[in-house]
Structure 1
Amino acid sequence: MQQTNFKSLDDVYSFFAKHGEVNLKTMFGAYGIFVDTYMVALLNDSTLYVRSCEETDKYIGHPEYKKYAYVKGISEVQTNFHTIPSELLQNEDTAYVIGKAIFEAAKIAKCEKIASMKDPKRLRDLPNMKLSTERLLKKSGINGVADLHSLGTVDAFKRIQQVNKSATMTLAYSLEGAIQGVHWSVISQERRAEIQQMVAI
């Protein structure tokens, strides 16, 4: 069975570009594929290995399912990335659903990793911190983790609104998650309502 092959990097960009800014970095003997700083996949010899998530784990046992492994010293290291059936990507709607699920899993994985860090030093190390968010914060005069924590969610968001009138409440929740060290989706409805009220003042 043919594995999930891509004829060019343009194919990879097309698959993930609907979910954010795509960047590549050499790692593990392959290309690491990042969407808004979140690692979503590996590309090796034209074969795509996506991050494991609930949506892609449905295909464990499929003939095309194969985990990516690399050699470190004398040992083989298994990663959390694997191939998926090639026919799934031939349907645009299915490909979108799978790409989104992979992206969400990558965000949660990064948040969990950051939450385990005692003291993140850089804005980019915080949960929910997309490149665009980091740029907005710095443009607003918020240059580091200490600045963000000192201002708090509401004041930081109001500063961003001064340089970007179209900033949404999702961004405010992302800032709250960054400060709390969690993914924004777990911010309680009560806290969200509280932030909305304070932003409106």
Structure 2
Amino acid sequence: MKKISYERIYQSTKYLSPLGDVQHRALFGGYTLAVDDTVFAMVSDGELYLRACEESAQYCVKNATSFLTLVKRGRPVLLNYYRVDEGLWRDHEQFLQLSSFALEAARRERRQRYTMHRLKDLPNLTFQLEILLYDAGITNEETLRALGAEQCWLKIRALNKRLSYKVLFALEGAIVGLHEAALPDTRRRELLAWFNTQPLTNEIHSGS
């Protein structure tokens, strides 16, 4: 089967050469195909799979394409890669166009990952607090701002009762872009007054 996969890799790199220098690497029993370290296709069991994207959605629906499933840690994992059938291999123009769509979609996602700020990159937010926010469903800065410090605090307090007013200050600082110590006194008093209206538990203390 490895020989068949290598034959398919050779065929794929030949057909896809107009997109650039196509490199392959082993992954989960299959092989990734990439241009400039951007993975846009995979080869598994002698079959080529292209990364699905918005531009290829119509083709996938029309042709009822099958998607790649790999076994990871003993479990089948369905990946967002659709099989290139013999008809598509014969249609070189469409094959190259769909491959170009796959590569560009992968490049867009890669650019977005590089430009997207993690929550812990905001003022006051530690790695531990980032994990709590993620567990509470607050995974990005937009959601953090939309909810506000008080609602975010309530959501993560549901996961960790040992949550203090200092975390509330930290969240507010992250939203407005200030270290919590630099928050205006008026806002600090507002937050502390709100904090004092929350039901007390024996576990609340001044730490995080």
- Taking structure 2 as the reference length, what is the TM-score of the superposition? 0.48
- Taking structure 1 as the reference length, what is the TM-score of the superposition? 0.50
Larger relative contact order, structure 1 or 2 (CA cutoff 8 Å, min sep 6): 1
Larger Rg: 2
